[in-house]
Chains A and B, each alone.
Chain A
Amino acid sequence: MYTPLTPDERQAMLQAIGVERIEDLFADVPARYRYPKLNLPPAMSEMEVTAEMQNLAEANLTVQDFITFLGAGAYHHYIPAAVDHILRRGEFYTAYTPYQPEVSQGTLHAIFEFQSLVCALTGMETANASMYDGATAVAEAVNMAYHVFRGKRPKAVLSSALHPQYLATVHTYYDASDREIVVPHEGDPTPGPDALIEAIDERTSLVMVQYPDFLGRVYDLSALAQAAHDKGALFGVAVNPLALGLLKPPGDFGADIVTAEGQPLGIPLSFGGPYLGLFATRKKYVRKMAGRIVGETVDTRGQRAYVLTLTAREQHIRRARATSNICTNNALMALAATVYLGLLGKDGLRKVAEINYHKAHYAAQRLASLEGYELAFPEVPFFNEFTLKTPLPVAEINRRLLDYGILGGYDLAQDFPHLDRHMLIAVTEMNSKDQIDLLASALDEIARDAAA
């Protein structure tokens, strides 16, 4: 198995240590705690454990078994084969955080590329080596803005159209602290970004929205950015990074912080994780940004090299005075995104973003033409996800759609009771025209059956 010592070797080592039995090495553990009986299943061989885990895996239906229109923060996209082949290199995945640059240039070099690609995508100047996910990245944005103003602006104004799980995470982090988390119209994601302007004041450190927002809508954010800056606050935007293959980057609107859920960039759905938090900002705030940062330098042999830098910000040096506690992040997922962006490149990312856009718009037009269905926000642009009003409760429709082999869209009533009969539908490059047409005819039949 995974413990190579032989009985003879153990004996020789015990002798060298000067004890008789292995139990003697635990003499400092109070006797009454020692060797509890653990009620665990008996050990399995690799063959048995593989069969066991396969059984569990097969008890799930996957997005490959269905025709999938479910998104809401996690998306079914194509992942080029080369991505996982790189991730499976033991040199990458069995290494630790690159503290020793002489033997970690592979990881460090890749993180430098990741930081560069994130900046290229978001229009920002500097990025960290990753966060846990899109939700915690927003929480860290709130934290960073608070520290930029040294606690003097305790208020963060967050859009009610941020992903409800991101808002929930921010509340968990800060509700009992001295930060004020203000979410105008909380519980109703329908107002547009300008609805935040009223809440911004001189005590506000951060104004943050999502782009596209949770309902899929894409707004010009210039006015809101201006309103935030007028009061001296930072402006933050949580993005879908794939959308930035097509859409104006938040940097163009004047964003000071851009965060993202990086899962669409080559990371499998994996029942919700591990995903990838992206975090980028302006260079003047780099010392307030949490997380690992890699910088370029040279080695003693005159070679270009990379190293973790600005580490004095971090908790292993500043301890209780550090602004964040993050250390282990999601480096391997950052590598996946880096390889993905490297493979797709300038042309490929634009192309896949456009395909998403066109397919979603075809779907929206098809579904809106059905009797009883209409777009909730027909005038507002969207990327690959849109909100459809339905003639029946979404839960009921989704149950029926399973019979067609279709995984329906997200039921917004789960988070917003007044949005019952509102379905959030995601369409990606994985959906063919035929699948969209099948969804249309299924929805049509379901509505007709109910009417009959």
Chain B
Amino acid sequence: MSEQIKIREPLLVELSSPGRRGVRFPESDVPPAALPAGLVREDLPLPELSEVDVVRHYTRLSQFNHAVDIDFYPLGSCTMKYNPKVNEDMARLPGFAHVHPLQPEETVQGALAVMYYLQEYLKEITGLAGVSLQPAAGAHGELTGVLIIRAYHRSRGDARRNKILVPDSAHGTNPASSAMSGMRVVEIPSDARGNIDLAKLKAECDDTLAGLMITNPNTLGLFEEHIEEVVQAVHEAGGLVYGDGANLNALLGVARFGDMGFDVVHLNLHKTFSTPHGGGGPGSGPVAVAEHLVDFLPGPIAEIVDHDPDDDTPVFGLVMPKRSIGRVKAFYGHFGVMVRALTYILTLGAEGLRQVAEDAVLNANYLRVMLQDTYHIPYNRLCKHEFVAEGRWEDAPGVRALDISKRLMDFGFHPPTNYFPLIVHEALMIEPTETESKRTLDAFIAAMKQIAREARENPQVLHEAPHTTPFGRVDEVKAARELVLTWFDWAK
């Protein structure tokens, strides 16, 4: 490190002192065995710290983060809603946290019940026939869904179907997941109202079509107005419809993917069902499918395998679906995340879930309408859980969406999603979620309006933002050029 660079918080390695210890283990109570000759490492270059060093270090670091627990986090398509505290406690109950995944099934009936009931409730919420909880995150669920689509076509001797259609408004993971499973990706443009261009879609609906990946509401926050025709066109060509459930928060209890004719969807428990994002995971991306795909689900999944002869209570077991694509990870999925999601569903019930969707959509439309005179909203119609504004004005040349985002930090808000979807210039994708009060929304509106004024009157304050955060803008070019990716890279 050059000398003029200021260090706000040292790294573990800089806090280290030879001989310091953070944990003491009991002395071994067995006679020592000879260590394996030639297989013992010579050096273990880990830092040496005491517990207080470590706790203070990470507590200080935590204070550099913005988080839902601190303030508004309107990051579009990420559904940064409040994560209820009771969910955290439930996941840590010893009966859940300290269960080994390979224990005999009779000793884990409670854990299997958690999986079974969550599967059942997700089936009910999506209107679909089967659920596997195994995928670890949204993108993992997408990969799983595409593998299911491929397996379905192949099982019917229809191996030439290798084309997946993806709208240009889709999350970047959709095309990547399709490509990863050996599919050919064809992008379908959006029309002037932000819907899928129907004519272009129909032109691609031929006998090589494996399926369409559709996000509804899409990443513009808009409900696909021709959803019935879209699904019909794909089905008539022999393709399947994959629904990316990332935006399900808008439709909880309002409409179901299964009723719309979707064949397979993935859900994000870490978005819609309030499990925390953890700074980038763990998520959970269950996949739900219609009747004709149930046998292809990855497994094992939880099922009722018997009933207790005494009191008729169900006996749960793990079962591999008959023509399963196989497993997509070790064990059964992110069980700890499932416990949180189940707790959430039980807390809310059907009416509570509908309230979630209604308030999420109400909040988004309120923000949209209150900001539409200040910010250009290219697809300005009734939105669902989010909307996309442009972060630029003709009379404020030089101001970009990025400047607006950085300036928002000075008001204590996390910025919206920037530069996505790609079909909107200087996109600011705003998703307030249902857990925000009108007071918070009004404060955000006021901040956005002040920023719009500053863009004209004092753009410098935007270009130099943020001002009040512990760190200023960082040099991304330097990071990519020098590639210092560990503290061992310093020496080089």
Tell yes or no: A190 within 8 A of B by CB. Answer: no
> Are B488 and A120 within 8 A (Cβ)?
yes
As a 0/1 sequence over residues 17 to 34 of chain B, the CB contacts with chain A under 8 angstroms (1 = contact) are 001111111101111110
Task: Count contacts on A: residues with CB < 8 A to the other chain.
Answer: 204
* Distance (whole angstroms) from the CB of B4 to the closest CB of chain A: 6
Tell yes or no: B409 within 8 A of A by CB. Answer: yes
- Please, which residues of chain A bring their CB within 8 A of the CB of B169? none
Given A30-B228, A274-B335, A332-B276, 18 more A-B residue pairs with CB atoms under 8 Å apart are A5-B362, A28-B223, A29-B254, A38-B350, A62-B94, A96-B75, A100-B415, A103-B466, A116-B12, A136-B328, A176-B182, A274-B337, A286-B485, A297-B484, A301-B6, A327-B138, A354-B28, A357-B35
- Please, which residues of chain B bring their CB within 8 A of the CB of A103? 64-66, 409, 414, 466, 469, 471
Which of B96-104, B199-207, B286-294, B389-397 has 4 or more CB atoms under 8 Å from chain A? Answer: B96-104
In angstroms, Cα B223 to Cα A28, docked, is 7
- Please, which residues of chain A bring their CB within 8 A of the CB of B181? 173, 176-177
17 contacts between A and B (CB under 8 A): A4-B437, A10-B362, A37-B350, A61-B99, A61-B103, A74-B102, A94-B68, A173-B328, A177-B182, A296-B489, A301-B471, A304-B6, A305-B471, A307-B479, A329-B280, A346-B45, A358-B33
* Distance (whole angstroms) from the CB of A247 to the closest CB of chain B: 6
As a 0/1 sequence over residues 284 to 296 of chain A, the CB contacts with chain B under 8 angstroms (1 = contact) are 0010000011111
Among B73-93, those with CB < 8 Å from A are: 73, 75, 78, 80-84, 86, 88-93
Tell yes or no: A279 within 8 A of B by CB. Answer: no
Contact of A220 among B38, B125, B351, B485 (CB under 8 A): B38
- Please, which residues of chain A bring their CB within 8 A of the CB of B25? 78, 348, 351-352, 355, 429
Tell yes or no: B247 within 8 A of A by CB. Answer: no
> Are B366 and A86 within 8 A (Cβ)?
no
In angstroms, Cα B214 to Cα A101, docked, is 31
Tell yes or no: B339 within 8 A of A by CB. Answer: yes
> Are B434 and A315 within 8 A (Cβ)?
no
Among A303-340, those with CB < 8 Å from B are: 303-307, 309-310, 314-322, 324-333, 335, 339
Decide yes or no: A113 and B327 within 8 Å by CB, A36-B256, A43-B348 being known contacts: no
In angstroms, Cα B328 to Cα A101, docked, is 32
Contact of B110 among A59, A91, A343 (CB under 8 A): A59
Decide yes or no: A58 and B39 within 8 Å by CB, A92-B278, A307-B479, A316-B172 being known contacts: no
As a 0/1 sequence over residues 185 to 224 of chain B, the CB contacts with chain A under 8 angstroms (1 = contact) are 1000000000000000000000000000000000000110
> Are B46 and A328 within 8 A (Cβ)?
no
Which of B235-243, B353-361, B449-457 has 4 or more CB atoms under 8 Å from chain A? Answer: B353-361
> Are A320 and B409 within 8 A (Cβ)?
no
As a 0/1 sequence over residues 323 to 367 of chain B, the CB contacts with chain A under 8 angstroms (1 = contact) are 001111111111111010011011111111111101101110110
Tell yes or no: A70 within 8 A of B by CB. Answer: yes
* Distance (whole angstroms) from the CB of B241 to the closest CB of chain A: 14
Tell yes or no: B305 within 8 A of A by CB. Answer: no
Among A25-66, those with CB < 8 Å from B are: 25-30, 32-46, 49-50, 52-64
> Are B327 and A295 within 8 A (Cβ)?
no
Tell yes or no: B482 within 8 A of A by CB. Answer: yes
> Are B469 and A68 within 8 A (Cβ)?
no
Which of A104-112, A192-200, A202-210, A369-377 has 4 or more CB atoms under 8 Å from chain B? Answer: A104-112
> Are A220 and B39 within 8 A (Cβ)?
yes
Tell yes or no: B154 within 8 A of A by CB. Answer: yes
> Are B139 and A102 within 8 A (Cβ)?
no
Number of A-B contacts (CB under 8 A): 688
In angstroms, Cα B107 to Cα A68, docked, is 13
- Please, which residues of chain A bring their CB within 8 A of the CB of B415? 100
- Please, which residues of chain B bring their CB within 8 A of the CB of A119? 486, 488
As a 0/1 sequence over residues 241 to 285 of chain B, the CB contacts with chain A under 8 angstroms (1 = contact) are 000000000010111100110000000001000101111111110
> Are B51 and A304 within 8 A (Cβ)?
no
> Are A345 and B21 within 8 A (Cβ)?
yes
Tell yes or no: B54 within 8 A of A by CB. Answer: yes
- Please, which residues of chain A bring their CB within 8 A of the CB of B479? 295-297, 306-307, 309
Tell yes or no: B461 within 8 A of A by CB. Answer: no
With both beta carbons as reference points, the residue of chain A lying nearest to B255 in the complex is identified as A33
> Are A270 and B58 within 8 A (Cβ)?
no
> Are A273 and B334 within 8 A (Cβ)?
yes
In angstroms, Cα B50 to Cα A344, docked, is 9
> Are B172 and A315 within 8 A (Cβ)?
yes
Decide yes or no: A249 and B41 within 8 Å by CB, A61-B103, A110-B58, A273-B136 being known contacts: yes
* Distance (whole angstroms) from the CB of A415 to the closest CB of chain B: 11
Tell yes or no: A235 within 8 A of B by CB. Answer: no
* Distance (whole angstroms) from the CB of A226 to the closest CB of chain B: 16
> Are B349 and A166 within 8 A (Cβ)?
no
> Are B358 and A54 within 8 A (Cβ)?
no
> Are B35 and A3 within 8 A (Cβ)?
no
> Are B280 and A96 within 8 A (Cβ)?
yes
In angstroms, Cα B35 to Cα A343, docked, is 25
Decide yes or no: A330 and B107 within 8 Å by CB, A58-B95, A271-B96 being known contacts: no
In angstroms, Cα B278 to Cα A132, docked, is 13
Among A218-261, those with CB < 8 Å from B are: 218, 220, 244-249, 252, 261
Decide yes or no: A53 and B90 within 8 Å by CB, A103-B66, A272-B331 being known contacts: yes
* Distance (whole angstroms) from the CB of A172 to the closest CB of chain B: 3
- Please, which residues of chain B bring their CB within 8 A of the CB of A43? 346-349, 351-352
In angstroms, Cα B274 to Cα A349, docked, is 35
